Amino acid sequence: MTTEIYSPGLEGVIAGETAISTVTGGLRYRGYPVTELAEKTTFDEVAYLLLYGELPTAAQLADFQKRIAAARCLPGPLINLLGAIPQGTASMDVLRSAVSILAHFDADTADSSRAANLRKAERLLGQIPVAIAVHYRLSKGQQPIAARPDLGHAANFLYMLRGKESSAADARALDVSLILYAEHEFNASTFTARVVCSTESDLHSSIVAAIGALKGRLHGGANEKVMELLQQTGGPAHAEKWLRDMLARKERIMGFGHRVYKTGDVRAGILKTYARQAAEAAGSLQWEETAEIIERILGTEKHLFPNLDWPAGRLYHALGLEIPLYTPIFVMSRVAGWSAHFIEQAENNRLIRPRARYTGPEVRSVKPMAERG
């Protein structure tokens, strides 16, 4: 007799194989520690690594950047739609719809070959930041700003939002955050993308589904809640009392704890430095000081440690980015990882179809209508 094993949330369950990344022994992309990638590469290089398996040569990177630059435009009907979406619509809902619409204008949508999937992935890398920036500016009553072919992923995004070139420090800080968000093994959104792929659906459908999964506050939406949480504290002078009141009510502190990282997320440590530097440049350290108090108490008393969302929310705030942009920024990074997983799943596919443990009534017979009460 086979013994059923039930693991709520699939915790600890090995649900597939991947050569893209691992969190065992520290996060690594294709074998490279994320600490080294954040120090020595750019997001453009990391995106190439995830899609093609190796870090690019100078010539390969230049060609890759040219292809991405050529993709940084949207079909006219999509721009019109982005301008017509009701004010107040959740930014992730807008982005989900934008990616779905992009599928209708992509000549490779129905082509499931590896080459076509790579072309579609590259186009989405270019198109998603444009969709985010276009909707943001239109929602503010401003005209969209065309991308520049000479700027990298992070610098271009800031340019399209602000209408002026960002400082090297701002661009690098955002770029590092994109590197750290780019890939994370079988997280909820990536697994969602692989499930959709396993049915032999298309890349755009998988990315749309992944965006839906990422929207939730227990996944990507957590970075939006970080600044809301910090602002609720009232600042450094009130942070400890606010936190202890939260703990007394047993409320969840967003930005802390992780299903996999029990002793801390190395990505959070990397980005913390950039968050503080950005806050110093912005001339306000109150939220960094507030964060330090919360980190200290949760670490020493509850053994809870920050995850990547904790410094990311603070960094984006210090860069002057509004909260509705935070999770879409996650998307414009993670689409590289999602696409890599889609391609890997498609090339060694088996339909993902788990079983459930039934907890309903035992077998019973249907009574005639007259006997039902």
Residues 129 and 37: their CA atoms lie apart, in Å, by: 22
Active site residue 309: yes
Look up residue 356 and give its two tokens.
């459930």
Contact indicator for 290, 233 with CB cutoff of 8 Å: yes
Look up residue 341 and give its two tokens.
């997983």
Question: Using CB atoms within 10 A of its CB, is residue 216 exposed (0-12), middle (13-18) or buried (19+)?
Answer: middle
Catalytic residue among 153, 184, 219, 317: 219
Instruction: List the one residue out of 47, 334, 35, 7 whose CA is nearest residue 185.
Output: 334
Active site residue 44: no
Instruction: List the one residue out of 152, 159, 162, 184 whose CA is nearest residue 265.
Output: 184
Catalytic residue among 258, 265, 317, 341: 258
Residues 87 and 233: their CA atoms lie apart, in Å, by: 29
Identify the sign of the CA torsion 341, 342, 345, 351. positive
Residues 132 and 127: their CA atoms lie apart, in Å, by: 9
Phi first, then psi, for residue 88 (nearest 5°) are 90, -5
Catalytic residue among 44, 309, 317, 341: 309
Look up residue 191 and give its two tokens.
């697994």
Crossing angle between the packed helical segments 203-214 and 188-198, to the nearest 10 degrees: 150
Look up residue 271 and give its two tokens.
């980005």
Residues 250 and 244: their CA atoms lie apart, in Å, by: 10
Question: What distances in angstroms separate CA 18 from CA 83, 194, 355, 356, one per listed residue?
Answer: 40, 11, 22, 24
How many CB atoms within 10 Å of residue 130? 25
The amino acid sitting at 315 is L
Active site residue 135: no
Instruction: List the one residue out of 140, 121, 132 whose CA is nearest residue 74.
Output: 132
Instruction: List the one residue out of 316, 318, 239 whose CA is nearest residue 284.
Output: 318
Residues 19 and 188: their CA atoms lie apart, in Å, by: 18
Catalytic residues: 219, 258, 309
